Amino acid sequence: MVYLRSLFIISLILWPMSAGADIYKYVDGDGVVHFSNVRHNGNYSLFMREGPSARPAAKTPGYDGSGWMGDYVNRYCKAHDMPPALVHAIIKAESDGRRTAVSSKGAKGVMQLMPFTSRQMNVNDPFDPIENVEGGIKYLKGLLETFDGNVTHAVAAYNAGPAAVKKYGGIPPYKETRLYVQRVLGLYRKYSSIE
């Protein structure tokens, strides 16, 4: 009961804050609950995620491959011999650059990584855009290697999974995947012409 009351009081205190930081929680061996804005060690777990510092404008242009995230994608792709235009296309199609995006199937973050993919790529926080981008690029690079550089098959596998692409010998006959591949390849061409 004391814990619930503490939780309620903390929620009330933090609710009106327009800017803040992630809050981490740790319950020690004596049952004392500790809160911190810094994850001191593995005993602390995420309790509350930072909210936006300001309301977004009613109409935002969305992700266009520019800004700090676009610059980071370009640098990371260059270091890993990946086409930045393809990664920009996937980010645009998957989340429109929203770091807190969550799909109905549980994919999270900028490049919409599924939980098992996050684990495979050592992404601890899929909502951290840098971790997500790095994990997504590594995953995409692995798909390109799996499908011998065939971009269409790698993009289809990014959406439907590599097993489905192998099973059907190409783009699976799923409407969602076919539309996804069409959209990503169109964006890839668009971003390639800009580079």
Same domain, residue pair 135 and 81: yes
Q: What is the pTM (predicted TM-score) of this model?
A: 0.68
What is the Cα–Cα distance from 181 to 79, expressed in whole angstroms?
25
pLDDT given at position 34: 74
Same domain, residue pair 103 and 149: yes
58 in any annotated domain: no
10 in any annotated domain: yes
Each residue's pLDDT, cut to its tens digit, for the chain (195 residues) gives 544 445 444 444 444 443 446 777 778 888 888 777 777 677 777 766 655 444 444 444 678 778 898 999 999 999 999 999 999 999 999 999 999 999 999 999 999 999 999 999 999 999 999 999 999 999 999 999 999 999 999 999 999 999 999 999 999 999 999 999 999 999 999 999 875
Cα dihedral across residues 45, 48, 50, 56: positive or negative? positive
Catalytic-role residue among 94, 131, 145, 176 = 94
Which structural domain, as residue segments, surrounds residue 189? 67-194
Same domain, residue pair 42 and 90: no
Same domain, residue pair 114 and 29: no
Domain count, the chain: 2
Nearest to 97, CA basis, from 72, 78, 80: 72
Same domain, residue pair 72 and 168: yes
What are the φ and ψ backbone dihedral angles of 172, each rounded to 5 degrees? -65, 155
60 in any annotated domain: no
Residue 94 annotated to the active site: yes
What is the CATH classification number for the domain harbouring 153?
1.10.530.10
99 in any annotated domain: yes
